[in-house]
Chain A
């Protein structure tokens, strides 16, 4: 970068130029550039890193009442959290949700992208249909799917999806959905997939468009079947996109909150509860600030484990380009 080199030795020459254009030489520009970005950097330093530091500190104190109490208790809050049944269920739910959501969303998104990649008539229309749920809020999605997956009752009859299944002769697929503690969080995966699979599709469509025609044609000429072309050429080329999608979906699912609030709440026996919801309730409804801070920090660590290597990797490859 040429702008980086501003040796002080040439200061007189610079000063002369600065005078020529009204006192705004490169050094002044340098200063202005720092002044422009400084507010954002300071604000992020305080509101992201400073606040995380404070939360970490709070999680090591006795602050479990409305009035702050910063007496040091070490890791006691964490020890207590990990032995709390609700938190254990939450962690299990997070793992279940993340794994299911990733698998279903990636496979569905990939399938949609491949289907759309076959020179389909009305491709734009199909794409819009699969994509528009992304423009919705998780709250809207949650409200709609709560009614969709409301199982109804034995006495009064089925409602929502169950009713539809009955109507089309698939009554044996009826389920208690989120009201069944054995299903719980898995029902939320359905709604989350409805909302987010279009995103994966869009990423894969963009990726597929980037693969040169010649590559596929060469393979076809060499006698490869369509399936083999996908299996051995296209899928490996899409690996970076798969990775990116996994990271994005993964960090969304670790943080999932709104959807659970609007759709199910904690559910019977905390079967659809998640750490973010527990944090919200214990902190802002129960005034257990230290415990809430502990949950928040565990969430942050989980997300950081996923995101930091990816950030480093992305920015490295960017500088290499």
Chain B
């Protein structure tokens, strides 16, 4: 026991924690309960009531859309986000790993300065690059496509992925690399046979981080892909939620569907998720 609270404080402590936990879970309660009510039962003025019977109608509408009401479901956009997130994440991780390797084990003059300049790129408000970005993507024919989004996410993912790998490789003893050099291995050989095999934890952190940020991104999606058929999930969810013809329970079900992949990642791989978060504060 570290700082011993007085004995009577103990129940107060637990009461506080449970109370706060309930407050944090309230939105989840509404989200889940609402999306599981049947249309007949959905009522804004009874939104805290437990459903009389469970129904998946809301999910079906949010996923597949409704032709009679004339709105698109999220299914298509969900797969768009998968087709965007997976390759962009893999590419980002590979680039970050190579950059981190060079910047930690093959330092050249001005490497630290360049690294600082690189890092600044992860904090900039993307508004300050959007106008030329759209022009350039148009020019090279990537505007309005998932490929354009992959490209954008990979480019602006370079700073954070490089940071995480550089910090990770800084903990790898230099002797390991030196020994491999003496054995006659070159830079690529050392990466392939010494560094890459022990990079798994860093790859996990970076891939989870990148996938989550790409999945959750809205700004790049809404700017680069104006066509609904190409849009990633968060842009589609925002459209769904902003439409007056879509009932609020369908919006809630849509929000739940859109949140599912990253929440699952968090539940299963929470430990790595945390490390990525803390790396974001430069203290990796």
Contact surface of A with B, Cβ cutoff 8 Å: 1-4, 20-21, 24, 26, 28-30, 32-34, 36-37, 39-41, 43-44, 47-52, 54-55, 58, 112, 115-120, 126, 128-140, 142-148, 150, 152, 156-160, 163-164, 167, 194, 199, 202-203, 206, 213, 216-217, 220, 226, 229-230, 244-245, 247-248, 251, 254-255, 257-258, 261-262, 276, 279-280, 283-284, 289, 292-293, 295-297, 299-300, 303-304, 307-308, 310-312, 314-315, 319
Contacts and interface: CB of A to CB of B under 8 A. Distances in A.
A28 B186 CA distance: 9
Interface of B: 1-5, 13-14, 16-17, 20-21, 24-27, 30-31, 34, 44-45, 47-48, 95, 98-99, 101-103, 105-109, 112, 114-121, 123-133, 155-156, 158-159, 162, 178, 181, 184, 186-188, 212, 215-219, 222-223, 234, 237-238, 241, 248, 251-252, 254-255, 258-259, 262-263, 265-267, 270, 273-274, 277-278, 280-283
A296 B27 contact: no
Given A24-B187, A164-B48, A310-B282, 18 more contacts: A34-B108, A36-B99, A40-B162, A51-B128, A112-B20, A137-B215, A139-B258, A140-B216, A143-B241, A143-B254, A147-B252, A158-B45, A163-B45, A164-B26, A280-B127, A299-B127, A300-B125, A300-B127
A13 to B, nearest CB: 15
Contacts of B188: 32
B5 A226 contact: yes
Contact of B21 (A20, A21, A119, A126): A126
Given A118-B13, A147-B252, A159-B47, A44 B159 contact: yes
A113 B114 CA distance: 36
Contacts of A33: 102, 106, 108, 187
A52 to B, nearest CB: 5
Contacts of A220: 3-4
B3 A296 contact: no
Nearest to B215: A137
B241 A262 contact: yes
A300 B218 contact: no
Nearest to A258: B218
Nearest to A31: B187
A4 B2 contact: no
B207 to A, nearest CB: 14
B38 to A, nearest CB: 18
A115 B17 contact: yes
B158 A296 contact: no
Given A159-B44, A194-B24, A245-B281, A32 B187 contact: yes
Contacts of A30: 106, 108
B45 A157 contact: yes
B10 to A, nearest CB: 8
A12 B186 CA distance: 18
Contacts of B267: 128, 132
A67 to B, nearest CB: 12
A191 B121 CA distance: 27
A47 B156 contact: yes
A137 B236 CA distance: 13
A254 B155 CA distance: 22
Contacts of B212: 135
B118 A41 contact: yes
Contacts of B129: 47-48, 51-52, 55
Given A37-B102, A258-B219, A48 B119 contact: no
Q: Which 9 A-B pairs have the closest CB atoms?
A: A137-B216, A135-B266, A51-B129, A33-B106, A296-B127, A24-B186, A21-B184, A29-B187, A300-B128
Given A37-B99, A44-B158, A139 B216 contact: yes
A83 to B, nearest CB: 21
B20 A216 contact: no
A48 B124 contact: yes
A312 B113 CA distance: 10
Contact of A55 (B14, B16, B30, B128): B128
A144 B162 contact: no
B216 A136 contact: yes
B176 to A, nearest CB: 14
Nearest to A141: B27
A289 to B, nearest CB: 6
